[in-house]
Chains A and B, each alone.
Chain A
Amino acid sequence: MTEHRVMSPGDDDYPAGLLDLEDPPPLFVLGETTTAPAVAIVGTRRSTRYGMTLAEAFGRALAGAGWTTVSGLARGIDAAAHRGTLGGDGEAVAVLGSGIDVIYPAEHREIYQRILDGHGAVMSEYPPGTPPDRWRFPARNRLIAAIASAVVVVEAGQQGGALITARLAAEMGRPVFAVPGDVDRPASMGCNLLIRDGAYPALGVEDLIAELELVLGKPPRQPARAKGEIPATGVAIDDLPVVWGCTPAQALARLARMEIAGEIRRSGDVVIPI
């Protein structure tokens, strides 16, 4: 395992947002941190397909637009958001409620590794080796709320960590976004409550990014998209030969390979990244 470092308030690369806390803690860090403004994507562990799809799309789109995303490596929404960001070749920050060398849940080892593979950082206020005890998670949530310049809640029940994160963020003056859902769907109850209480409704990928840029301005880092990559908003199938600079026959073959690999899917006339 690579060497971790410890960042303290006052260090140059210490996340500025954390200074808004009454007790900014020292952090154990793995990977590369940036000072670029970050957007948190949080939500319930008991997410639905609706939430997972959106969280992933948001992660990808934010990465594409140049935002760093922050989440907690938990099951459900957190993991989907991380995956989206990684898929969009963006910067992800995972704030853990355990030691930075304790991967919880264990099945998220791949996400953890990919983040450390040049796609961001993993941080925690607990020393390495600290087990993932439940009571530590709310404390972790306050870090996510503070690091982020804005918080997006994708799905949340009536109680839970995501709502705590959102309330803490709001108290610190961070804009809070929530994805509306069916009023009778438990997984959307928290989000709908947040909207009732004044959170911005996030009505989709483009809406979210437009609203973020309105509130926070454009992110300093412009999206660095590899040539030929499919943007989150999709590309018309008929335009693929132009985007990829190849013949229609080659474009069809490449399209099929990417579909088989699960990287993209078709929706009507367009292909969109998964």
Chain B
Amino acid sequence: MYAATTSVALVGGEARPVEVQAHVGRQTEAFKLSGLPDTAVREAKDRVRAAVLSSGIRFPNRTVTVNLAPADLPKGGTDYDLPIALGILAASREIPDLRRAVVVGELALDGAVRAGTNALGAGVLSALHRVPCLVASAVAGEAASIPGAMAFGVSSLAEAVELLRVGLEGRASARPGEPMSREDAPDLADIKGQTMARRALEVAAAGGHHLLLHGPPGSGKTMLARRLIGILPRLEVSEAIETAMLWAAAGRRRGLDTTPPFRSPHHTASKAALVGGGSGNPVPGEVSLAHRGVLFLDELAEFPRGHLDTLRQPLEEGVVSVARRGMSVDFPATFQLLAATNPCPCGFHGDGRRPCDCRPALRWRYRSRISGPLLDRFDLIVRVGRVEAGEYAGRPGEPSAEVAIRVEEARAAQIVRGQVNRRLAPGTDLLESATAKGMVAAGVGAALLTARGADRVRRVARTIADLAGVDQVEEEHMAEAIGLRGEWRDD
């Protein structure tokens, strides 16, 4: 006796259908599972049998064979528990055939259905193929939030069996879940002083510019960086879904969170952890977990240079290709790069209050760990100075919520023009006044800017004009952009 149902595998952040085929034979009792299962999937056998028995349903005491097709696609995770159980029950004619349904969910030994990671993927397939999907109740809203999805939540295997025996026809889909946004992000109001760095952060947020902060240890680079999320625009629901799917592919549940993701991998992270990889089905790395959000590399110069160079493809194309045996998967990886670094190994170069112990050659070598092409990606390279104790005591900074309003408006202007300012290619008409153009030329003339530096400054000036709410980039905006640049060099 044979039956099949459908589940989901995430490949490169995309949902692909997996047919869960179940066959109950006549031979003596056995349970075989094929289709490149990983350890978690292989253990489904034990969970499924226990959950079925706990639910008071007969588990066939014959040869049970389950295949996850396509059989050459590696499968992982616990989301196949429920479809395997239902497939077997359909094959043994306990419930009607449910070929036209997408099922995901993890089973507890008592028969409870737990939220796995792929509810969104189930929703996507449900909408795409116009079939119902069955997921854990806890995440039914998530699956239903995909436009066009018909999602049904169940909290136990018994409930699922009951539901399928009665039939899904005429039942209303679960209501789309409310997107949520975390409000617990650290606030800019906590930062005293750092007036210039705060401004740089605001401009970076508004234009989506990659930002490198450099300065002595203890100057608050990391504190500042962690406050970028709080002033960035919230994600659209579609973007939140896109991001959550990538997280699911990495085995993490993110939910319908419209807070842009913030990832800060440590400099000891492996290349695979950064850009994705792993044996079997490639798993997205930090660059993809940061998709639509921020990738923060603290202690940038401590990252192995080879690792940093792998960032160039995603920075340029917004995707990262991970090649593995027999397949190459593209993961979306459009992120804003935020980095912090000490100016030199000892950290005190340029700090007037403490001498730098590093030999110049050592400083140079430290800086050269970051390749020129990567440095060129940063539209904003900003020096963060040390705040003297007491200097700004009792003077709280502007709260994130107020900055976020300006950022939001500046972003809106860019979206009308078609793209975020970071992506403006050199040569694009940025609507600069003649005096603004003169200002750049003067900056180049005074050897403050290189040709490439001028392009960066012009993009930043465009964002400053957007923050000011005007169409044309004026001289004042250009001057501020030139003032914001703080190259990382000896002086």
Contacts and interface: CB of A to CB of B under 8 A. Distances in A.
Contact of B193 (A238, A262, A266): A238
B483 interface: yes
B199 A266 contact: no
A253 B350 contact: no
Interface range, A side = 20 to 34
A164 interface: no
A253 B351 contact: no
B486 A266 contact: yes
B386 A269 contact: yes
Contacts of A240: 196
A238 B194 contact: yes
Interface stretch (B221-229, B415-423, B442-450): B442-450
Interface in B316-374: 349-352
A77 interface: no
B471 interface: no
B464 interface: yes
Contacts of B477: 253
Contacts of A256: 439, 443, 448, 479-483
Interface string B452-487: 000000000000100000000000110111111010
Given A241-B195, A260-B443, A251 B383 contact: no
B169 interface: no
A271 to B, nearest CB: 10
B402 interface: no
Interface in A158-215: none
B385 A259 contact: no
A253 B473 CA distance: 13
A260 B448 contact: yes
A248 B491 contact: no
A249 interface: yes
Contacts of A111: none
Interface in A233-251: 234, 236-238, 240-241, 248-251
Given A259-B448, A260-B448, A268-B351, A252 B383 contact: no
Given A241-B195, A248-B196, A249-B199, A269 B482 contact: no
Contacts of A234: 352
Interface in B176-205: 193-199
A265 B350 CA distance: 13
By CB atoms of chain A within 10 A, which of B193, B350, B477, B479 has the most? B479
A246 B196 CA distance: 12
Interface of A: 234, 236-238, 240-241, 248-257, 259-262, 265-270
Given A259-B446, A260-B482, A269-B215, 6 more contacts: A237-B385, A238-B197, A240-B196, A250-B480, A255-B483, A265-B491
8 contacts: A248-B195, A249-B480, A252-B196, A252-B480, A253-B480, A268-B383, A268-B491, A269-B351
Interface of B: 193-199, 215, 349-352, 383, 385-387, 439, 442-443, 445-446, 448, 464, 476-477, 479-484, 486, 491
